[in-house]
Structure formats: C-alpha cells, structure tokens
Amino acid sequence: MLNLFFPKVCEACNNVLTDNELVVCLSCRHQLPVTHFHFDRSKTVEKILYGRVKLENATALLHFSKKGIVQQLLHNLKYRRHEHISSFLGKWLAAELCAVNTYNDVDVVVPVPLYKTKLRKRGYNQVAKFGKEIAKALHTEYNDGVLIKTKPTKTKVFKGRLSRWNDDGAVFAISEDTALQGKHILLVDDIITTGATVEACAKELLKIDNIKLSLATMAIAD
C-alpha cells in the first residue's frame, strides 16, 4: 500500500515546518508585525471607534497590510479551511492578555457571528477557536449564542467607512441577555478596519444592563 507523506508547511511562506515549528516557521514568526497595544496601553483601536462606542479595553494582536504576511494568514484561515490558524493566534494573544490586569476580570468571551448560510457553507466561524483559546486562558466562559447575524453582508475589508456602516447598520441582534447583566464582555473578531462591524455588534451588546465591553481582534488594518 502506497504511503504518502505530506509535510506541514508554513502558512505564510509555504516552507516545510520543522518538528518544533507550529503554523508558521520561525523566520515568518519573527516577521509578524505584532502591535503590543495591550502592553503599551495604546488607544489605537479605541480611536477607530471614538465617539461611537465606549470600550473598557481594546487590542489587536497583529498589524494587517494588503499583500502582507498577515493577509496571507487570514486568507488561509477564512478561505482555505485552515482553522488551526485561529487557535494559534488565540493562544498567542491569550498568553499576553493573561499578563494584563485589565483583561483579568472578563466574564464572557463573545465572537462576532457569521450569518447562518455563510456559517453552513464555511463550516466554522473563523474567530471561534481564537475566542475559545482566550476564554480558556482567562478562565472564563465562551458564548457564541449571545449575538446573531440577522442578514448576510458581503466581505468589506477595503470598503470605506460610510459604505461599511450602511451595509452593517442593523444586521446583528441579541439572542440572550439576562445572564449577562452587569458582566464584562470581551468581543472578539478577526480584523478591525473602519470599526463598523464592531460598532454594530457593540451597540446591540450595550443594550444589556450595566455591562462593560472590551474588544480583542487578530489584526488591525493599517
């Protein structure tokens, strides 16, 4: 019987990974543009949403640029079914957030949801494992039943703010809220660009009485 061996390759450069390398090779790992926002107490993410949504904390793990290494990772995650990338980025950010006091009182991690037909077609929410790893590290709950997406929207990574807002204005809803009253919710997503999707989700979540809301994403668009 023919035994075919397919070596694992780097998600960024396609070089064969060594036994000690996971998802990306050591060279690409060192090239990943890490933000350090949560360590530096940077308000970069909050500024995107300034005057639109009040956040307790907000961070992104990586800088995203068109045709860059992070775009390659997110493309593989979303369109090539490489869901392990979500876990890899989640574990990385989770380890860092554990060292930041302002994230240690998070009560529940909530992902930005996909519309049901897209979820069925893709087979997974690309931020699910990212959020689960963060929840696990923070010793808190992961709940993907809080938010639902009520209608489909197209991918809008490079659209302007106005067109994104017009598309995303009222496409999310809360499916449950009683158990979350007075809680600190950490909303997680893959990338923040204009902030319209996060804003739409946040405005629904902030309808829950007396909550605190924070945000963590895999990447932020430069």
- pLDDT band, residue 3 (cuts 50/70/90): very low
Give all domains of the chain, ordered by start, each with its CATH number.
Answer: 1-31 (no CATH), 35-221 (3.40.50.2020)
* Sheet-wide strand order for 184-192: 58-64, 212-221, 184-192, 108-111, 141-142
The model's pTM is 0.90
Tokens of 24: 């990306």
As a whole number of angstroms, the distance between CA 181 and CA 30 comes to 41
Question: What local confidence, expressed as pLDDT, does residue 7 receive?
Answer: 78
pLDDT in tens, 103-133: 999 999 999 999 999 999 999 999 999 999 9
- pLDDT band, residue 152 (cuts 50/70/90): confident
As a whole number of angstroms, the distance between CA 135 and CA 110 comes to 9
User: In percent, how much of the chain has pLDDT > 90?
Assistant: 82
Residue 93 has pLDDT above 50, yes or no: yes
